[in-house]
Amino acid sequence: MGATRGFIVPVGGAEEKIGDVAILRRFASLCGGSQGRIAIIPTASELAETGGRYEELFHSLGVSVARSLPIASRADCQRREWLDVLDEVEGVFLTGGNQLRLSTMIGGTEVARALRRRNAEGMHVAGTSAGAAFLCEHMIAFGREGASPRAKIVTLAAGLGLTNRIIIDQHFRQRDRLGRLLTALAYNPFAIGIGLDENTAGFVGPDETLEVVGSGALTIVDSSELEFSSMAKVRKNDPVCLIGLRLHILNDGSTFNLHTRLAAPPPVVAKRP
């Protein structure tokens, strides 16, 4: 019997780092808590202190090892000592910044192959903001904001490829990104669109069930029953007609199964008499 895949955890960015750090605490616990070892890849960020900041955060949550791998070039992705770290940890956390830094420096390298292999073997992989966008096979590289889908306002690029079931957009409500997620799905409605508000994460387990954690909303766009798309007919910047989409707005504790495409609200907590 094959190994059980690890969790895939996209975070919408601006996760709480002081006080109620529910998302980071949940990830640390998932990776083993006081016995856990987490590698941080701060490549998306151009700030030198990013990796060290997350080392401090995970150490404050009690993990035994939190080590930053400051990959700054494709050559860095061949460093044996860093590849050895990825073979030893229970989790990897990709920070925010610019997702094209991740795809251009890590895509197609030994590090990318190690991340896919280790996730398939059970290692958990989380990414926040740009790191979240990079987790999937199809990544939103950039695009215009706004509520309506419009032709050619989104550019897609190849991502890490941990899953091909979803396309992720982050800072979703804060930056008005429904239109660009819908546009990305209009190109090919195979995937499920996930829009993550800030301080909101989707913990996608090996059974393909996503659980929402955080203070914001997670938007699901299910295009599996799409009846019509005008994408092939419209000119650049024209609105796109999409008929038959399903939309779910989920909050903390809600779930969505990526296989059955069924959503469920948070469980009811019985009130004390």
d(CA 164, CA 123): 18
d(CA 2, CA 4): 7
Nearest to 86 by CA among 51, 53, 113, 58: 113
Pair 173, 197: CB distance under 8 Å: yes
Nearest to 95 by CA among 59, 119, 71, 61: 71
Name residue, tokens 């895949």.
5
Q: What is the CB-side half-sphere exposure of residue 250 using CA atoms within 13 A?
A: 32
Q: What is the CB-side half-sphere exposure of residue 52 using CA atoms within 13 A?
A: 4
- Catalytic site residues? 129, 171, 198
d(CA 219, CA 221): 7
Helix crossing, 110-121 with 80-88: angle to 10°?
Answer: 10
Q: Is 105 helix (H, G, I), strand (E, B) or coil?
A: helix
Structure tokens at 8: 């895939």
